[in-house]
Structure 1
Amino acid sequence: MTDTPTGPWVERSRDHAGEVVIVTGMTGAGRSTAAKELEDLGYYVVDNLPPSLLREVVQLVDESRGHDQPIAVVVDVRSGSFFDSLQSNLAHHAVGRRTTLLFLDATDDVLVRRQEAARRPHPLQGSGRLIEGLRRERSVLADLRADADLVIDTSDLNVHQLTDRIADSFGTPDQMRLQVTMISFGFKYGIPIDADFVADMRFLPNPFWVPELRGKTGRSQDVSDFVLGQMGAREFVDSYVELLTGVAGGYLTEGKRFMSVAIGCTGGKHRSVAMTEEIAGRLRELGHSVGVVHRDLGRE
């Protein structure tokens, strides 16, 4: 079985502003993984919501975050008779937003293995066998599966492959790129605790000791030229960008689209700022989405 786009899904654009995604499907098919990925893509995620409250949630999000905030609602078989309310809301467009019904499925033998590995009973199993609970669930969800805009069979997908499918279906082109945050900092104020990579620029001469540069920052062209003109500076940039580019490919392959890179010097004013700006510019030229934070600029 392959991913099956049906209904209006085929005609939809990659602009998901204001979209409401209803995530449902079989227990063990990957609802939690899909919800986490949607959250990473910027959706406001509500888990295990009774469908009768769907309109209220949309209204609250409209009031607090605006109509363009995309929403993902995870609905599972524990909602029981509430499914009738969900189908009614979707059929009559009562949500007031564009909606997409995502159904995650897998073969019974795969679902049994996953449930047994998790050592958790099926919510409809009762005192019977696991497979009986799965069959009851299929019966309950049959109409929702038939109405789904997008069905993803996760039988042969690992976690990373499923997140890729979700990102491809619900992400924007910008979100599909690696999101890099470059942080300049001063070692005397501490290393950023959320950094994936840390580089130390204290091997370069400090512009602080050049009187005409002392009062400027690494964003000044004079300071940047001084820092990048030092022996080994440009060689470091070349090799570090090459390193980060190689790691970026691995991150994307593993479903990670966020990287935090911290560049430090003594006070976070000259060398780290200039090198952060230079490396950020090089990464942008390679097609990555890069944000820059000069954490300690202005503290001196």
Structure 2
Amino acid sequence: MNRQIIIITGLSGAGKTVALRALEDVGFFCVDNFPVVLLNDLLNISSKDESVNKVAIGVDVREKAFLPDIYSLINSLKKIFHLEIIFLEAEQAVLMRRYKETRRPHPLQSEGFGIDEAMKKEMELLSSLRELADRVVDTSSLTPHQLRALIMELYGGKTSSGLFINLISFGYKFGIPQNVDLLFDVRFLPNPYFVPTLKELTGLDSRVREYVLGDPLAAEVLEKLRNLLKTFIKGYLKEGKSLLNIGIGCTGGKHRSPVIVQEMVSFIEEEFKIKPQVIHRDI
């Protein structure tokens, strides 16, 4: 039997537990914080049970004593099983905020590290494992619900195309989202921020949409974006890619970029029958 093995790892606070629960909901047998030294034994035992054909295992920095051994172990296991590694990460400021919200300590703080030092140490310890990853997912802009949806779309067989698309609107003043595959700058479009009646609204409001799209340049931009995305998405589908992150940015991420993102959502749904995940990061 061709068993599917997924190792979920990454930075603490990036969403490993959410990802494992999502995999469990789509039929994976899941084990979290499993000792790396026993990984081979677990897979050999599970291989004797024909009902267990999908296994997901959570590995984190608490296994640091065995991390040097995991690289040779993974390489040997890949020769036997269909094994994939997912590495979850997020921007340091986002991870810091999540720790403050949950009031949970970082795993390495028990060793006397401060939170900043613990996070840097973890990145260092897991850097080689990140290089082995088949898929790196930045969860900075994702809510737990959105991360769950992403994992279930990728591994639950819900999309006929096999391609999961994230459309992200953002403001350049707050930084460019990490791991964006395609990046578009729409700061040259007319800015509703300088219109008193529109300033406090967002690009999800019909009045802002009408203002932005009422400019002749916007129509030209949309036409070119549609043609470009049509070419890129066809290429991604042809190559069997599973994840495409598209970022569209304006100055503050509140008006113009959300308008253009929403237009691209409609286009992609109509053209490819794919429902993108929409993230308006800075609204």
Aligned length: 160
1:99 aligned residue: 83
Structure 1 segments unaligned to the other structure (5+ residues): 1-15, 177-300
Distance (Å, rounded) in 1 between the aligned partners of 2:64 and 2:2: 30
Distance (Å, rounded) in 1 between the aligned partners of 2:101 and 2:27: 31
Does residue 128 (structure 1) correspond to residue 110 (structure 2)? The answer is: no
Matches within 5 A, 1:30-49: 30-49=15-34
Matches within 5 A, 1:205-244: none
Matches within 5 A, 1:22-101: 22-66=7-51, 69-93=53-77, 96-101=80-85
Measure how far apart 1:92 and its partner are: 2.3
Distance (Å, rounded) in 1 between the aligned partners of 2:113 and 2:35: 26
Contact 1:26–1:138, Cα closer than 8 Å, also in 2: yes
Measure how far apart 1:168 and its partner are: 2.0
Distance (Å, rounded) in 1 between the aligned partners of 2:92 and 2:159: 36
Structure 2 segments unaligned to the other structure (5+ residues): 162-283
Distance (Å, rounded) in 2 between the aligned partners of 1:65 and 1:52: 24
Deviates more, 1:156-165 or 1:24-33: 156-165
Measure how far apart 1:94 and its partner are: 6.2
- Give 3-state SS (helix, strand or coil) of 1:24's partner: strand
Task: Give the counterpart of 1:113 among 83, 97, 106.
Answer: 97
Give the aligned CA root-mean-square deviation in angstroms. 2.2
Matches within 5 A, 1:145-156: 145-156=130-141
Distance (Å, rounded) in 1 between the aligned partners of 2:48 and 2:10: 29
Distance (Å, rounded) in 2 between the aligned partners of 1:98 and 1:145: 18
Q: Which ranges of 4 or more aligned residues in structure 1 deviate by more than 4 Å? A: none
Distance 1:163 1:17, change over 3 A: farther
Measure how far apart 1:18 and its partner are: 1.2
Distance (Å, rounded) in 1 between the aligned partners of 2:79 and 2:49: 17
Paired AA for residue 138 in structure 1: M
2:124 aligned residue: 139
Identity %: 34
Distance (Å, rounded) in 1 between the aligned partners of 2:78 and 2:130: 20
- Give 3-state SS (helix, strand or coil) of 1:64's partner: coil
Larger-Rg structure: 1
Paired AA for residue 85 in structure 1: D
Q: What per-residue deviation string (whole Å, max 9, x for no partner) do you get for residues 158-211 of structure 1?
A: 0111011111221223899xxxxxxxxxxxxxxxxxxxxxxxxxxxxxxxxxxx
Contact 1:18–1:69, Cα closer than 8 Å, also in 2: yes
1:166 aligned residue: 151
Distance (Å, rounded) in 1 between the aligned partners of 2:138 and 2:85: 14
Paired AA for residue 40 in structure 1: D
- Give 3-state SS (helix, strand or coil) of 1:42's partner: coil
Q: What per-residue deviation string (whole Å, max 9, x for no partner) do you get for residues 92-112 of structure 1?
A: 236721100000000111111
Contact 1:17–1:70, Cα closer than 8 Å, also in 2: no
Please give the TM-score of this superposition, normalised by the length of structure 1: 0.50
Paired AA for residue 123 in structure 1: P
Paired AA for residue 8 in structure 2: V
Contact 1:54–1:95, Cα closer than 8 Å, also in 2: no
Q: What per-residue deviation string (whole Å, max 9, x for no partner) do you get for residues 241-279 of structure 1?
A: xxxxxxxxxxxxxxxxxxxxxxxxxxxxxxxxxxxxxxx
